[in-house]
Amino acid sequence: MATKPAQSSKDVAAENIIVRNGKNIVIPETSVLIDDPESVFEFIKGGNLVVILWHVIIELDGKKKSRDVGYEAQKAIKKIHALLLSKANIVVERKMNFSKTELDKSLPDHRIIAGVNSVLQEKNRLKSPYFGYDKVKLVTNDYGMQIFAREVGAKSGLIVEFYQKDRTKLRKEAFVIRTKNIPFDLIKKNQDKNEYYPLVGNEKIPTNGPVIVCTGEESNWQPYCAAVRQGNNLVFLDSNINASGIYPKGNSHPNWAQIIALHFLTDDNVKCVFLQGGAGTGKTILALAAGLDGKRRKHYSRLIVSRPTIPLNEDDNLGWLPGDINQKFYPWLLPIRQNLAIIRPEKKKEEKEGDEKNELDIMLKHGVEVQPLAYIRGSTFNNCFIIIDESQNLTRHQMKTIITRAGRGTKIVFTGDLGQIDNPRLTRENSGLTHAIARMGRDSLVGIVNFQQTVRSELVELAERVL
């Protein structure tokens, strides 16, 4: 009877090798987990192994008390903790490998890259938990880290990529105000004497899509008015529309974008408005004028204004500023106060230049409430007109948090300029403003306007055009 030959240690090791074809090692960097705490569930799909670096956990833990990203940091830690307890395909890597890298051990980003380098080196060892996986991927939205990581991991096959789920590319038509030629004899009037045009056929105009209507005769079409799609009709808008005495302001021709914006801002059926455009285009003053007008008409009980606070130093926050919360937040709301002075000029005796408390009192006198974003989470706002200025600096999750605070009878207006993002973690592709416009833009509850005409001054118009 033949006996089975004894297996060598090498043969036994070969039999125990786990082949993981098509499965990768995914290493998310801190900012990705903060921007989307749920991202870890995306990375683990398909049998991938998620590696959470020790220094990433240290950074998340250090940010959990931050007013800016504390909630997201804590949520990310909780998600990682739950997955570790459930024995999911996720591990924590403590080791760092600085050899032959010229990385600086004192720099947080370099310590993360050294952790990635350790995984790369361990991947080729038979007994390593990383052995058998196809690729090692570092996911980071930090451009500097991407450069360093590619240099360190180039010979080891490291793949460095952005977190794709939070990147949105707006289509050109999202910001285009279309033009449509309509003969005079096809324009109709309803009982309220408002003009409209019944759409027929396959019209590529979304719900609440803005249009500049030109009318006249063939080869001699002239701009007639602005319009928006409501149902199967193009409803023509009043070019003399105003709010709190603020009318659309153009340079040498009607400012169609401002006319459309005022329509959305004063239409109680539109619950969320996005005003996007460069400096001096009138976004903030129109929103504030509409909010004051809506409060005067008792459509809203409160007018609330807020904006993201992006300090020069990311470790700074409102806490070190003197005074109560209104005074701490005041430096970020100077543009609101300046616009309020245009809409409702104060009497001379009430003006005290440089008196911060007095100016805050004036805002409160006109019913303008200050609400830092950090205090919005967990609240429900009913019958409120809410303005979020500089919204290009919001993350996707901050944007969702704000919108989901809206109760009955509330309208939220987001003003922002995607060309002036100050949040170092954001780009045009992953800004919460971009994401919201792309996802919400075809609903009847939402109005979107892109401003291109600068009306602040000729100098600002020049700067916006050439700089």
- Residue 344 pLDDT exceeds 50: yes
**Mean per-residue pLDDT, 317-339:** 63
The mean pLDDT value for 156-169 works out to 87
pLDDT of 130 higher than 60: yes
- At residue 346, the pLDDT reads 59
In 3D space, the residue among 77, 145, 141 whose CA is nearest the CA of residue 111 turns out to be 145
Return mean pLDDT, the chain.
84
How is the beta sheet containing 90-93 ordered, strand by strand? 90-93, 49-53, 25-28, 136-139, 159-161
pLDDT top residue among 444 and 200: 444
Q: What is the mean pLDDT of residues 67-86?
A: 90
pTM comes to 0.79
In the prediction, which pLDDT does 13 show?
42
In whole angstroms, what separates CA 121 from the centre of its chain? 37
Residue 10 has pLDDT above 50, yes or no: no
What are the two backbone dihedrals, phi and then psi, of residue 113, each rounded to the nearest 5 degrees? -65, -35
- Closest by CA to 272, choosing from 406, 418, 389, 452, is 406
Q: Which two tokens stand for residue 65?
A: 């008390």
What gap in Å lies between CA 37 and CA 75, rounded to an integer? 6
CB neighbourhood size of 312 (10 A): 6
**Given this model, what pLDDT does residue 264 score?**
97
Of the candidate ranges 44-48, 224-228, 341-345, 389-393, the one whose mean pLDDT is the lowest: 341-345
Q: Is 353 a residue whose pLDDT tops 70?
A: no
Mean pLDDT of 437-457: 87
Flag the least confident range among 57-61, 212-216, 371-375: 371-375
416 against 216, higher pLDDT: 416
Give the model's pLDDT for residue 167.
79
d(CA 57, CA 63): 10
Q: What is the pLDDT of residue 228?
A: 94
Report residue 314's pLDDT band, with 50, 70 and 90 as the boundaries.
Answer: very low
Say yes or no to pLDDT of 191 above 90.
no
* Residue 361's pLDDT band (cuts 50, 70, 90): low
User: 12 falls in which pLDDT band (50, 70, 90)?
Assistant: very low
- pLDDT of 1 strictly over 70: no
426 within 8 A of 436, measured Cβ to Cβ: no
The string of pLDDT tens digits covering residues 19-55 is: 566 799 999 999 899 888 999 999 999 899 999 999 9
pLDDT grade for 142, boundaries at 50, 70 and 90: confident
Domains delineated in the chain = 18-166 (3.40.50.1010), 245-466 (3.40.50.300)
- Quick one: pLDDT band at residue 332, thresholds 50, 70, 90? low
Instruction: Return the structure tokens found at 126.
Output: 């038979």
Q: What is the mean pLDDT of residues 446-457?
A: 85
Please indicate whether residue 386 or residue 457 has the higher confidence score (pLDDT): 386
The pLDDT, as a whole number, for residue 323 is 53
pLDDT given for residue 442 in this prediction: 82
Q: How far apart are CA 70 and CA 317, in angstroms?
A: 12
